[in-house]
Structure 1
Amino acid sequence: MTNSPGAAATVAPRSDKVSLEARRRRTFAVISHPDAGKSTLTEALVLHAKAITEAGAVHGKGNRRATVSDWMEMEKARGISITSTALQFPYTTGSGDTCIINLLDTPGHADFSEDTYRVLTAVDCAVMLIDAAKGLEPQTLKLFQVCRHRGIPIITVVNKWDRPGRYALELMDEIHERIQLQTTPLTWPVGIAGDFKGVLDRRTGKYIKYTRTAGGATAAPEEHIEASRAHEIAGDDWDTAVEESELLSADGADFDRESFLRCTSTPVLFTSAILNFGVNQLLDVLTQLAPSPNGAIDVDGNRREADSPFSAFVFKVQAGMDSAHRDRIAYARVCSGTFERGDVLTHATTGKPFVTKYAQSVFGQQRSTLDTAWPGDVIGLANAAALRPGDTLYSDVAVQYPPIPSFSPEHFSVARGSDPSKHKQFRKGIEQLDQEGVVQVLRSDLRGDQAPVLAAVGPMQFEVASHRMAAEFSAPITLEPLPYTVARLCEPEDVKLLARLPSVEVFTRTDGVLLAVFATKWRLETVQRENPEITLRGLVAADQ
């Protein structure tokens, strides 16, 4: 490069480049109650961004293909998301700007709350999906509370408007009353639930008319029609949409960016993900309104700005993505600075160097070599045996981000290898499932190393563990349920006393934490009342 003034002027300072790239990023999670259409919406977003040419969800079991975000065999068989998935793709807005989307699809089932919670530590915004017929469901409410606690702005999407459901105004009232969020719809349905013709764009006043495609496998054509012509095309349905939109305005339900970022209001859109209706509008809202990365808060409560030296936060570890390679991928959210493949970083937990030769960009199960990443990006670090969820990586200036707490388990089972000759595979598989956070692994001198206890928030975690032990490690296991439902942290000096009590057992978790488990919460209360000298502390509950 020459040193002429003109050449120098074209090269932005490094910190300016980081800030520019951070502003182009949108990193968000899609969260919902099971069966609200989350993976279908994820697929539709990727389709409309032209990252794939045809959606995986197709009507009819005979020709149904798996979505890009549900790649595990159990996910394909059950039709539900079992593990979170990262998808990165570019999206060109109507104004011609290109944004980089980092989309994290999450499990909706309550049994996998811990995985969803980890994902929510790595995003700047959440898209909350609500079934038009069911409204706010228990898991939806819990996820709203997690987002509120973490200060994550929420965009609400009412899905399945192509099917019979509730009245739109009724759904808005329910959201406002049950979770104290002011709804500020950006689009409003033209046609009742089950007769979805299009939407009134409340920002422009235009009618966006949708046209179905075969099986919803391709992007639905849209026609943007001036309000003056909308009645001719949509008739009374348009008039009703206009009247209801005016009622919303009179009630103060117009979008306000400040209250959205403060998490006191939520913009709302109406979609049918299976038909690809309303998906373009969601992409535009994400790129226009969702916050871009602005650094992260460290353990001391200080913000590490996005243009600071490189740092990243590991929020997930996943193995078994490629049956041909037994490697393990650590998903890390870039919090600050620039990542370049081959950089030698510092692992904050151990202080040891970590070489990033095998860095990858992740798109569902697909992986490709990644050379550079910026704040907001999710990078996959292969062969990352030393990394655990909650770990921090940094360069130059030390930083430590808050760890991810383990949830309080409510289900416990003794795991034993079905084939004694597979002892080595058994130990390796249990260790890997523990490191990934699929289950918590507990041990005690009483039970021995051959019979670790698996602890989980929900029983489906045991199904995943059993399936993966057999499929990935050729070490099938049997599970013997234990009669415990409550766990508490305990102190070393109290272990002997607790171990002598009936319906109580003490285990050591892999991270060294001592857990006392009790048959019921009433048994816990009795132990505490009769032994006030014992110190027992609660863990993070799955519904917090």
Structure 2
Amino acid sequence: MSIVDDIPDAIKTVPKAAVERDLGKEVESRRTFAIISHPDAGKTTLTEKLLYYGGAIQEAGAVRARRGAKSATSDWMEMEKQRGISISSTALSFAYKNFTLNLLDTPGHADFSEDTYRTVSAADNAVMLIDSAKGLEPQTRKLFEVCRLNGLPIFTFCNKMDRPALEPLELLDQIESEFNLPTYAVNWPIGSGDTFKGVYHRPRREVHLFNAEAKDGKAKKGEDKSTKGLEVLSVDDEKLESLIGAELHAQLMEDIELLDELGGELDLQAVHDGELTPVFFGSGMNNFGVQLFLDSFLGYSVRPRGRDLLGGDRVEPTDEGFTGFVFKLQANMDPRHRDKVAFVRVVSGRFERGMRVTNARTKKAVLLSRPSQMFGQDKTVLDEGFAGDVIGLNNPGSFAIGDTLYMGSRKVLPPIPTFSPELFAYLRNSDTGKYKQFQKGVQELLGEGAVQVMYSRDAVKQDPILAAVGQLQFEVVQARMLAEYGVETTLEPLPFAVARWVVGGWDAIDAAGRIFNAQCVKDIWGQPVLLFKNQWNVDQIVADTPEIGELSPFSIPPAAE
């Protein structure tokens, strides 16, 4: 029996060629998702194993930071190649079992950026990757809250079970208690570390055996006659106890009884509503449990969703008119050319190369003559796309993050929120003779949205204030300013860790009068922002200065009228 049995028959039985011109079936066959994790949880490895199954790459290679080692397919920026990390968010598309999967690859390093938050806004599903030895970690918690804000279904993969790990019940309890999110174990680990023997797959009461010496985590044919043909067997098979040992077998039987008591059926509606997370166990590095997860994910995840429009209307993915929005800008993806790419998430209709659309913000018509699909640093020309797809467009300054592109009647999607940064620093130009290059680099790099930029209310102070979630984003800006614009820069850190937008605007600032223990700056939209050293100062000003009104941890950029 194929493990793709979880996929609805209506999708599974339709040949790809037969649905190319059927908008509804194209939408039904798409899954767009992001992977969220803490550093070193194995995100890059899992990403490449998924691409490997989709035939998108021929080798699922590990990422190494040392010079001369190969880089991951999804890593392309020079700093990413040097450090073996993912700094930028990349869109990767691949086909698998009559599905088109769009994987939004988010940074997994210790310091991530708001770019990551925006990428999540373009996803329909989220995969939460957990290091089974460590459980929930800080970056995972931050990204989870953004996923929840976007109402995404969340699928959990507990990785590195071939290493010493926390008890599976403890991992489930962490998710349920910290996130107030019920769990459903789709499969269950048999041991961990040196005693890891595989997983029990509940939907079909099967045991998938693990072999650490096999490249794909399963026994090779002819390698051991006693296990030949027994990589997958029924939990009731009499050979199971001898294969995994009496102690683990007894523990498995006890665990199965407990799981059945907790609930035998997966509530898909609760999953789609973000009120229940299916949980899987495996080892990405050993490629064990990855295909089992992927096949189940196809059956459980949601197709591209409809989205609310400003003004109260709604656009559905099967609506004929094209609608999309820009969620990411990237400059200089090709070091040989100073190119710019705008990443557009298709929301509805059919995208076609050469089509003319309207930018809701500028109200100008834009000819999309050179659309592309990104795969790491490689670009291929894209002739068409459907809801859920991510398209790269040449961007000679025509687009901004959050822009709505549409055909037909006017449509405007809500702006993408801007979240509170945690680090702040003035960016100084070390060579006044390169003023023009400095200004150009700042405008182009900050225009990508990798970090926020703010300015002092004092007109005399013209140096931009970089505002980021992590220190590495500052280093990225400095490195790219030098490598791509020939400008050396210095940073002057500011002693703040919290930003709050003043909902009442400048009138509230003026009404409040002198504000202590905070610095007032303005964002790129001219909106007032207060910078604080800590949350205690925020609470203090709210209590002592009621005239300031509401302070928000995020901001909604001005919408196109």
CA distance in 2, matches of 1:59, 1:506: 43
Change (3 A) 1:451 1:173: closer
Shift of 1:370: 0.6
> Which structure 2 residues correspond to residues 306-317 of structure 1 after superposition, within 5 A?
306-308=317-319, 309-317=321-329
The 10-residue stretch of structure 1 (424-433 or 101-110) with the greater mean CA deviation from structure 2: 101-110
After superposition, give the CA deviation of every residue in 1:121-180 in whole Å (9 maximum; x if it has no partner): 111111111111111223323333332332211111000001111112222233223323
The CA deviation at 1:343 is 0.7
Q: CA deviation at 1:484?
A: 3.2
- Deviation per CA, 1:57-87: give whole Å up to 9, x if none: 0689688522112222323333333221111
1:142 and 1:354 mapped to 2: Cα distance?
36
Matched, 1:473 2:485: yes
Amino-acid identity (%): 44
Residues 47 and 219 of structure 1 are in contact (CA less than 8 Å); yes or no, is this contact kept in structure 2? Answer: no
Matches within 5 A, 1:105-184: 105-109=105-109, 111-112=111-112, 114-184=114-184
Match of 2:421 among 405, 409, 418: 409
Q: CA deviation at 1:36?
A: 0.9
The one-letter code matched in structure 1 to 2:487 is A
Q: State whether structure 2 residue 554 is matched by structure 1 residue 540.
A: yes
* 1:114 partner amino acid: E
**C-alpha distance in structure 2 between counterparts of 1:59 and 1:75, whole Å:** 10
Q: Aligned partners of 1:178, 1:489: CA distance in 2, in Å?
A: 27
Question: Conserved in 2, the CA contact under 8 Å of 1:293 and 1:306?
Answer: yes
Aligned amino acid, residue 481 of structure 1: P
Identify the residue that residue 281 of structure 2 maps to in structure 1. 270
Say which of 524, 528, 551 aligns to 1:514.
Answer: 528
Contact 2:64–2:70 (8 Å) recurs in 1: no
> Using a 3 Å threshold, how does the CA distance of structure 1 residues 480 and 204 change in structure 2: closer, same or farther?
same
Q: Is the 8 A contact 2:66 2:82 kept in 1?
A: no
The aligned residue for residue 9 of structure 1 is none
Mapping of residues 128-277 of structure 1, within 5 Å: 128-212=128-212, 223-227=231-235, 228=237, 229-236=239-246, 237-252=248-263, 254-277=265-288
Shift of 1:255: 2.0
Query: Structure 1 residues 366, 241: CA separation in 2 closer, same or farther (over 3 Å shift)?
Result: farther
Q: CA distance change for structure 1 residues 528 and 158 in 2, over 3 Å: closer, same or farther?
A: closer
Distance 1:502 1:384, change over 3 A: same
Q: 1:29 and 1:191 mapped to 2: Cα distance?
A: 29
- Aligned AA (1:31): I
Q: Greater CA deviation, 488-497 or 40-49? A: 488-497
Q: In the alignment, which residue of structure 1 is the partner of 2:405?
A: 393
Tell me by how many angstroms 1:503 deviates: 5.4
Q: Residue 419 of structure 1: which of 431, 437, 453 is its match?
A: 431
What is the match of residue 32 of structure 2? 27
User: 2 CA distance for matches of 1:180 and 1:525?
Assistant: 26
Q: How far apart in 2 are the matches of 1:295 and 1:15? A: 21
Q: Aligned pair 1:432/2:444, yes or no?
A: yes
Q: Distance in 1 between matches of 2:418 and 2:100?
A: 31
Q: How many residue pairs are counted as aligned between the two chains?
A: 523
SS of residue paired to 2:419: coil
Which residue number in structure 2 is paired with residue 462 of structure 1? 474
SS of 2:195's partner is coil
The 3 A distance-change label for structure 1 pair 294 and 484 is: closer
Distance 1:58 1:410 in 2: 29
Q: Distance in 1 between matches of 2:338 and 2:512?
A: 41
* Structure 1 residue 259: Cα displacement: 1.9
> Does the alignment pair 1:37 with 2:68?
no
Distance 1:77 1:287 in 2: 34
Cα pair 2:512 2:545 within 8 Å, conserved: no
Report SS of the residue matched to 1:342: coil
- Alpha carbons of structure 1 residues 130 and 501: separation in structure 2 relative to 1, 3 Å: closer
1:224 alignment partner AA: V
1:340 to 2:340 alignment: no
Structure 2 length-normalised TM: 0.86
Q: Quickly say closer, same or farther: Cα 1:303–1:196, change in 2 above 3 A.
A: farther
Cα distance 1:521–1:18, how it changes in 2: closer, same or farther (>3 A)?
A: same
Residue 285 of structure 2 aligns to a residue whose secondary structure is helix
Query: What is the CA deviation profile of residues 97-118 of structure 1, one whole-angstrom value per residue up to 9, with x for unaligned ones?
Result: x100101121235742522221
Partner of 2:296: 285
Tell me what 1:362 maps to: 374
Give the C-alpha shift of residue 540 in structure 1.
1.5
Q: For each residue in 1:199-227, what CA deviation from the matched residue of structure 2 results, as whole angstroms up to 9, or x when unmatched?
A: 2221112222244467x5x6866832243
Q: Describe the shift of the 1:305–1:524 C-alpha distance in structure 2 as closer, same or farther (beyond 3 A).
A: closer
Residue 325 of structure 1 is matched in structure 2 by: 337
Q: Identify unmatched segments of 5+ residues in structure 2.
A: 1-16, 221-230, 556-561
For residue 90 of structure 1, report the CA deviation from its aligned partner: 0.4
